[in-house]
Amino acid sequence: MAASDNPPTSKPRDRAGVIDVIAEDTKTGEVVLVMNELDEWEGSDEQLLALQERFNAYVSFLLDGEMASDQPELAGKPARIELRCAHVPDTRALELLGLIHDQLAFQEIKLEVVVGNDPPSPKATA
């Protein structure tokens, strides 16, 4: 699996086998796989299935030896998947992400959801 050259607005199901970014977080020593989600969350079955398929591909890349062969310098490091969203996930997506988080924890893979278009919270500006 390689980083995507597809435009980020392509249909999610077309991106099931694409890892958007592979990097190392030098502060934590973790391998970070970034999954970008720029579309609005609509909570449809299709969107949630596509999200689940993408997570399956990311986990497979980490656990099935593909990362070790493609990026040997990152092999054996702790891993984190970052879902970077332009919009806050809706209720159904949050429920699915909670389940995915729990399953990834069994594999010692962290999950972080980063929302980019949120207005700053009062705590962040105080």
Of 3.30.70, 3.40.50, 3.30.750, 2.30.29, the CATH number of 12-117 is 3.30.750
pLDDT digits (tens, 9 = 90+) for 36-64: 998 999 989 999 999 999 999 999 999 99
pLDDT tens for each residue of 74-108: 999 999 999 999 999 999 999 999 999 999 999 99
**For residue 32, is pLDDT > 60?**
yes
Helix intervals (H) in the chain: 45-63, 66-70, 91-106, 122-125
**Contact assessment for residue 53 and residue 13, using Cβ atoms and an 8 Å cutoff:** yes
Domain ranges of the chain: 12-117
- CA-to-CA distance for 118 and 87, rounded, in angstroms? 7
